[in-house]
Amino acid sequence: MQILIDADASPVKDIVIEEADGKDLPVVLVSSIAHFSLQDYPDFVQTVYVEQGADAADFKIVQLAKPGDLIITQDYGLASLLLPKGCTVIHHKGFRYSSDNIDQLLQTRHLSAMARKSGQRTKGPKAFTDEDREVFRSLLQELLPH
């Protein structure tokens, strides 16, 4: 098992690295070159940079993902591509994507996009809270080997 993070806007990278430390699990941060960083990570963390482009990081994650891998993303479309590969996919707000919820999530995303396209204003995502961090950490701990 490896952990892949859709890292461009992920607020949980540090939590994942902290929880994976000592578990012999590689962590791969996939990010656009536009988000290049000189941040120093532990040896078990690899950073993969991709060219700028709407879905470049997503395509790279799909390419790297193998059955049994754990993926962290807020992108419903990416999650829908990874579930059939046998990956466990979770959102940084602390919920797990599944065949039971992915269609509804994609439908909601589509309806919001159509509303914005027609000129309606829609709310953005709620701020990421300390409670969200703890919910995510709890789910992550549940999914990682002990």
pLDDT for res 109: 65
Instruction: Enter the pTM of the model.
Output: 0.85
For every residue of 18-83, DSSP letters joined together read HHHTTTT--EEEEEEGGG-------TTEEEEEE-SSTTHHHHHHHHH--TT-EEE-S-HHHHHHHG
Q: What is the pLDDT of residues 42-68, one digit of tens each?
A: 999 999 999 988 789 999 999 999 999
Evaluate the CA torsion angle 69, 89, 98, 55 in order and state its sign.
Answer: negative
The chain-wide mean pLDDT, for the chain, equals 91
Domains and CATH numbers, the chain: 3-143 (3.40.50)
pLDDT for res 110: 65
Q: What is the pLDDT of residues 87-106, one digit of tens each?
A: 999 999 999 999 888 878 77
Confidence of residue 38 (pLDDT cuts 50, 70, 90): confident
